[in-house]
Structure 1
């Protein structure tokens, strides 16, 4: 059964397999991974998981700076990640409230659509009435996922890396 689970050190090996599948230099939305994060060693991975947990504490959420991270898991296989930024802050304005990514071998199974529906329920529970979702212009799979959940296209905006589509979903 597929579930959204909070990041956990129990899935270190499974997460590393998903991470390796993206390949070096590729972008993994939804995991909150920064270039400075060391995730190979058990200690480094545990420190990173702790940082993700700290981002979703009531204090961070109350300050509007929080982020809820969830992994898309089936058994002991990590299919991807999804993040709900609680903003309104610069990160939300640039990247949206929600970011997600599915590992290449798990795509085209409806996992992103399912996970987005689940995280929209969490956004509703936080009291958000609408969320911004941003995707790369040529990511047609993400466009379909967003539109399936009622995403309304706002604009294409140039960013530092590439042009992106911006969508709003009313909750």
Structure 2
């Protein structure tokens, strides 16, 4: 089972274990984390700072633009307080030029020890449920050209390849 949960400092121990499992922010990039100010530091104070950034600011893009966004942590289980945190998901409510070209509406990342268990596909499916409430009828999701696991995750969720731009595959998912 997989659930999306709001970032919460009460989960700082699970969050710290997840950050350490990622082994660095390069592996976390799918969630859009890299456009927040500063890298997450795997401590209680680091969690407090990270949660504050994800709840008080919208994620930026390389051009410095910010868009409204909802951050989630991906939990293995039903979302209970003791569930293991296995990843990040960011649902961007609007697309600027960069996000339309490269980033998409939804980005996600699953920690290495929890991969190949269906968490990314389930998290994406759950996030798509937010689209109607945001007035979005088509969701753009992208992945690196060489990321076969993410490609499968997107396609399982109904992604239709529009094109490839540089090293990014761009998929649209229609929302019924």
TM over 0.5: yes
Match of residue 32 from structure 1: 33
1:48-97 deviation digits (Å, cap 9, x = unpaired) = 212211247xxxxxxx9211111111333111111100112134223110
**Which 5+ residue runs of structure 2 have no aligned equivalent?**
59-65, 77-81
Match of residue 89 from structure 1: 96
Q: Secondary structure of the residue that 2:154 maps to in structure 1?
A: helix
TM-score (norm: length of structure 2): 0.81
Specify which of 66, 71, 77 is matched with residue 84 of structure 2: 77
- Could you list the structure 1 runs, at least 4 aligned residues long, displaced by more than 6 angstroms after superposition: none
CA RMSD, Structure 1 to Structure 2 (Å): 2.0
Structure 1 contact 135–165 (Cα < 8 Å) conserved: yes
**Is the alpha carbon distance of 1:22 and 1:44 closer, same or farther for their aligned partners in structure 2, counting shifts above 3 Å?**
closer
**Is the alpha carbon distance of 1:55 and 1:119 closer, same or farther for their aligned partners in structure 2, counting shifts above 3 Å?**
farther
Residue 154 (structure 1) shift: 1.2
Structure 2 contact 7–51 (Cα < 8 Å) conserved: yes
**Which 5+ residue runs of structure 1 have no aligned equivalent?**
57-63
Q: Once structures 1 and 2 are overlaid, which stretch shifts more, 28-37 or 75-84?
A: 28-37
Match of residue 109 from structure 2: 101
1:137-156 deviation digits (Å, cap 9, x = unpaired) = 11111111111111110111
Match of residue 22 from structure 1: 22
Match of residue 5 from structure 1: 5
Match of residue 61 from structure 1: none
- State the aligned residue count: 160
Match of residue 166 from structure 1: 170
